[in-house]
Structure 1
Amino acid sequence: MKRELPIGIDNYRELKEKNYYVVDKSNLIKDFLSNGIKVTLITRPRRFGKTINLSMLAEFLDMRKESKKLFEDTDIMKTTYMTELNQHPVIFLSFKECKGSKQNLVKNMKLEIAREFERYKDVLKREDMNRLEQSLYDFLMPRLYNCMDEDVFGLDDTLSFLMQRIYNVSGKTVYLILDEYDTPFIESHIHGYYSEVKDTFSSMLSKSLKGNPYLNKAMMTGIQRIAKENIFSGLNNLFVCTVKDEEYAKYFGFTTEETKHLLKNYDLTLNEHVKAMYDGYQFGSIEIYNPWSIINYASTKRLEAYWVNTSENKMIRSSIRKRGLGFSIYFQNLIENGYVDAFTKLQSSFYEEEADESLWGLFVNAGYLKIERVLRGDEMRLKIPNEEVRMEFKSIVSAFLEVGENDIITMLNALLQGKLSEFEMFYRQMLLKLPSSFDLQRENSYHMMMLGMCAFLYEDYEVLSNREAGNGRSDICLKARRANQLQVLMEFKYTKDKNQNLKELAEIALKQIDDKNYAAELSLPVLKIGLAHRGKDLELAACLCES
């Protein structure tokens, strides 16, 4: 009997007790305990197993739990570190639900911290405290337990106070395990109250991590390192593990062998179609598959896009609207070629440092791009990792062009229905709406813009650009995935000459499609379109071949 797949479950105890399919990542515990690093921050995209791994680590170490049965068949129990099982005080927090409005974010943060206070209520007996501790206790508890009050004053002392009390009673220093530590920073930035909460949140982490004699070790996960809020400044024993590093590379996401084994268990194979859809990530030197997508594919048996980002998607969409001409040119190159060579900062947050290199770093850290290779210094070749992410780029392209997704879909539907006058009208309207930062000084500008919009057609069409066809390279080919479906060839022309007749230029583009036999390998029907541009002016010529 096949084990049930754990879709949406990220609690390690629940996974093991209910006998879900689990990929053993327990040697992460050995790697964490065996190094001399005080604070480890691992940056990875969402949906790559961060919460499950930290839940596993907390379950293993926590002296208040009985976890032997949960680990009896795992790799960690074959090592000398098996003796560390349930031997240490642990504070485990996940800020993944700290989202939305200020009231909702603060409420969920207080609830998360208060749950740990409840777990350790035996060390929080007021009569056992000295006068200073009693004073702090009396100050903190009403504020922490008033979850509906969005006031964050005093919240910064809660964790360090709890760690002190745990040590005073148990005589043991504390392991602090913090999942999605940066979600409150990202969400407060998106929703406009970052300046109201950042000092308190930063101070809470700083007091817990820096110079805290009650801290044994800490592991944190997030999307990016938050640099400027001084959380990590002065930490001499800090390791920030990015997607470039070998350390912990195999523990977040599925390796090729893990993916093959999982799919085989559910009567599936790791074929070229699955690889194209979900492969493409590389952490350190290890090829990694998106675990969320693989598990969903194994469950549904449907090759679809399952990975959808939220917070980072919103931040990227809002941010690219603010970038200048320089970023626009690089982004157009990315859409056209599937890769871009750009200076990239992985260890800074875009909302702290609104520079192009920080935005490219956010693309990488959020999982939208992968580092194919380092060119020199901080200059890297960045690539769209797979077809699933390419499909998610639709919303990003829409934001980049400042055109609504529905407008793009309406225009493309008119094209595929052969309603060329409507297509021309919608396309002309889009050109007029384009932001001034969009480069319309060359033929490739229009080519890349249309290429980006054609990403919306992925489910029905293979979108090909500058591929060899006939006796040359066609600009854009929409190759139908189903028989008897309309296929489309587009050729672009551009002129600065105000005396050039655009209609004649469009006819020249259309003639080029025939002269170079671009349609040679396409089955009928084929719609051939020549598009001529001058700034935001447009003419087209078209021919439908049905027999």
Structure 2
Amino acid sequence: MKKLPVGIQSFEKIREQPDQFYYVDKTPFVKKLLEQGGGYFFLSRPRRFGKSLFVDTLRQAFLAKKEYFQGLYLENNWDWNTAYPVIHVSFGSGVMGSLEELELTQMEILGRNCRLYGIEHLDSPTIRGKFFELIKRLHEKHGQKVVVLIDEYDKPFLDNIANTSLAVEMSVKLISLYSVLKDADVHLKFVFITGVSKFSRASLFSGLNHLNDITLDARFSTLCGYTQKELETVFADQLEGLDKGRIRQWYNGYSWLGEKVYNPFDILLYFSERQFRSFWFETGTPRFLIELLMGNHYPIARLENLVIGEEIIDSFDVDRILVEALLFQTGYLTIERMDENMVGRRTYQLAYPNMEVKSSLNRWILNELVEDVEAKSANETRLIRAIQTKSFNDLRDIFHSFFASIPHDWYRKNELSGYEGYYASIFYCYFAACGFEIRAEDATNHGRMDLSLFYEDICCIFEFKVLENAGEGSAMAQLKDRKYHEKYQGSRKEIYLVAVEFSKKDRNIENFEVEKVS
């Protein structure tokens, strides 16, 4: 079997060509990092985006393993005559459920690096001391400064993020480990740190003031993931006969202030199975995220067009988790646009990256609300059919049945039955889970629509009211008075006004009116 170049985003077996390898060359970024003057770099990307693969690329390049880079950019753009000692620290495998397991893992990592370079024993009694001693001795032994690569730096406390006290204790332990890098600066050539989340630099990387964060650096925005050009060039034979527009809709869309990219994990599995599935989403259940959204009574429809400041997107701490930051850093939202005002303050408009994430996340939220998941899935099929056939009476029955299926205990815990935003969120989640094009709080010159839905030749404009708060007939009256429909007149679509009024007492739909705009 042909030897694979390390660090190249590739897939060994695609159904039609099990012995053919596909190479997406990311080695130009290795040279680009060194052109920045070397130093300390940090990169945050969601899981399964190729971070570990790139770390391995760096490792083999600094080890001067030229044989792995034949035919790649770095083959003729690197000093292969100089090899550096490389310390590789990875927390990517396994789950550490206690401080004792974390300490054992740290000792195993240090031991593995010692054995690799023939160091039999480290004298320091502490993990922090052993790490510093290893760096110093490698520098002295090889006569070259040391390269330190830390992969998945945050996994120990991310795995325990639901247990705040344990997560905080683990972060304290890791602070001690990472702080060695400051003290060992004179012995270091290059440091590269990756993780999913961008926790507060002030705490986790205390003292590393010269840490170069390239997470939102447009020059490195496509370091992980496939660009459209890379997809169409490298996988041209795989794309033959496929709907490229639909592939883009499902799997493209991740952005870090540069060109949008595809999730490699999704693309490679799609080419293997030839069907649209939520491959990336299914590899990690975001239960903690769902509980955080529901526990904070977060209006889910707001995720469709979320604007936040750089102080939120930039970082968060283990004991102070912001929903918006977590959604962005874990890949469930991405940057749609960045704006900078007169005083230099940046704001970011976030959105779902693609159909996979939007549909799957909202389906998980619905599953959290109901006990009969099979009935909910059947309702999704009925809902799609009702929209396709413009059967609005069926639409009312579907949602009435859904609200009736939510256990009363859930309402007692959350006290949301009196809020219009809660009911709007349920409609939004259902439509999003089914894959419809929807817009929440759609702006017009007369105000904002609660929700608008588009499918082929129809447009449905929804207004939601709680009777105890607004009174009977207020939803349809607002739709007509504010003339929301005028925004889409001339779009060659049939426009329907859908007024939905709920009873706080009964926790269900009380009135459901539909009128077609003539």
The TM-score by the shorter chain falls in which range?
Answer: 0.7 to 0.9
What amino acid is the match of 2:272?
S
Report how far residue 59 of structure 1 moved.
0.9
Q: Does 1:533 align with 2:510?
A: no
Question: Which residue in 2 is equivalent to 1:351?
Answer: 318
What amino acid is the match of 2:308?
A
Question: Which residue in 1 is equivalent to 2:52?
Answer: 51
Cα distance change of structure 1 residues 462 and 285 upon mapping to structure 2, 3 Å threshold: closer
Distance in 2 of aligned mates of 1:226 and 1:26: 27
1:305–1:388 Cα contact (<8 Å) kept: yes
Deviations 1:431-485, CA, capped at 9 Å, x for gaps: 953464748444x653332111333323xx66677999xxxx995658599xxxx
Cα distance change of structure 1 residues 340 and 454 upon mapping to structure 2, 3 Å threshold: same
SS of the counterpart of 2:186? coil
Question: Which residue in 2 is equivalent to 1:42?
Answer: 43
Q: Does 1:339 align with 2:312?
A: no
Distance in 2 of aligned mates of 1:272 and 1:316: 30
Distance in 2 of aligned mates of 1:360 and 1:475: 21
1:155–1:200 Cα contact (<8 Å) kept: no
Distance in 1 of aligned mates of 2:279 and 2:441: 29
Report how far residue 509 of structure 1 moved.
11
Question: Of 418, 428, 439, which residue of structure 1 is paired with 2:404?
Answer: 428
Question: Which residue in 2 is equivalent to 1:171?
Answer: 143
Report how far residue 25 of structure 1 moved.
0.9
Question: Of 254, 263, 271, which residue of structure 1 is paired with 2:235?
Answer: 263
Q: Matches of residues 295-374 of structure 1 in structure 2 within 5 Å?
A: 295-308=268-281, 313-323=286-296, 328-329=298-299, 331-334=300-303, 338-344=304-310, 345-354=312-321, 356=322, 359-371=323-335, 372-374=337-339
Cα distance change of structure 1 residues 506 and 42 upon mapping to structure 2, 3 Å threshold: closer
What amino acid is the match of 1:57?
L
What amino acid is the match of 1:305?
S
Identity %: 18
Distance in 2 of aligned mates of 1:310 and 1:190: 19
1:350–1:362 Cα contact (<8 Å) kept: no
Q: Does 1:379 align with 2:343?
A: no
Cα distance change of structure 1 residues 169 and 474 upon mapping to structure 2, 3 Å threshold: closer
Deviations 1:383-414, CA, capped at 9 Å, x for gaps: 11111111232255348x75568274465467
What amino acid is the match of 1:55?
D
Cα distance change of structure 1 residues 270 and 100 upon mapping to structure 2, 3 Å threshold: farther
Distance in 1 of aligned mates of 2:193 and 2:493: 52
Structure 1 residue runs of 5 or longer lacking an equivalent are 127-132, 140-153, 482-486
SS of the counterpart of 1:190? coil
Q: Matches of residues 234-249 of structure 1 in structure 2 within 5 Å?
A: 234-242=207-215, 244-249=216-221
Cα distance change of structure 1 residues 10 and 158 upon mapping to structure 2, 3 Å threshold: farther
Distance in 1 of aligned mates of 2:417 and 2:195: 35
Cα distance change of structure 1 residues 13 and 396 upon mapping to structure 2, 3 Å threshold: closer
Q: Does 1:494 align with 2:465?
A: yes
Cα distance change of structure 1 residues 343 and 198 upon mapping to structure 2, 3 Å threshold: same
2:221–2:259 Cα contact (<8 Å) kept: yes
Cα distance change of structure 1 residues 21 and 111 upon mapping to structure 2, 3 Å threshold: farther
Higher mean Cα deviation, 44-53 or 31-40?
A: 31-40
Distance in 2 of aligned mates of 1:445 and 1:322: 13
Question: Which residue in 2 is equivalent to 1:93?
Answer: 89
Question: Which residue in 1 is equivalent to 2:112?
Answer: 115
Cα distance change of structure 1 residues 382 and 14 upon mapping to structure 2, 3 Å threshold: closer
Cα distance change of structure 1 residues 398 and 55 upon mapping to structure 2, 3 Å threshold: same
Cα distance change of structure 1 residues 12 and 540 upon mapping to structure 2, 3 Å threshold: same
Distance in 1 of aligned mates of 2:3 and 2:366: 34
Distance in 2 of aligned mates of 1:530 and 1:214: 68
Q: Does 1:208 align with 2:185?
A: no
Q: Matches of residues 385-404 of structure 1 in structure 2 within 5 Å?
A: 385-394=353-362, 397-398=365-366, 402-403=369-370
Report how far residue 84 of structure 1 moved.
5.2
TM-score using structure 1 length: 0.73
Q: Matches of residues 502-513 of structure 1 in structure 2 within 5 Å?
A: none
Higher mean Cα deviation, 415-424 or 278-287?
A: 415-424
What amino acid is the match of 1:341?
V
Cα distance change of structure 1 residues 220 and 495 upon mapping to structure 2, 3 Å threshold: closer
Deviations 1:264-311, CA, capped at 9 Å, x for gaps: 132436722122112222233222222221222222222332212766
SS of the counterpart of 1:83? coil
1:99–1:105 Cα contact (<8 Å) kept: no
Structure 2 residue runs of 5 or longer lacking an equivalent are 13-18, 387-393, 444-448
2:301–2:428 Cα contact (<8 Å) kept: no
SS of the counterpart of 1:288? coil
Distance in 2 of aligned mates of 1:281 and 1:212: 34
What amino acid is the match of 2:47?
R
Cα distance change of structure 1 residues 166 and 52 upon mapping to structure 2, 3 Å threshold: same
Distance in 2 of aligned mates of 1:44 and 1:281: 10
Distance in 2 of aligned mates of 1:480 and 1:157: 65
Distance in 2 of aligned mates of 1:393 and 1:13: 26
TM-score using structure 2 length: 0.76
Deviations 1:28-58, CA, capped at 9 Å, x for gaps: 2212222224210011112221111110110
Question: Which residue in 1 is equivalent to 2:426?
Answer: 449
Cα distance change of structure 1 residues 123 and 466 upon mapping to structure 2, 3 Å threshold: closer
Distance in 1 of aligned mates of 2:152 and 2:107: 15
Distance in 1 of aligned mates of 2:442 and 2:235: 33
SS of the counterpart of 1:532? strand
Distance in 2 of aligned mates of 1:499 and 1:381: 32
What amino acid is the match of 2:155?
T
Question: Which residue in 2 is equivalent to 1:20?
Answer: 21
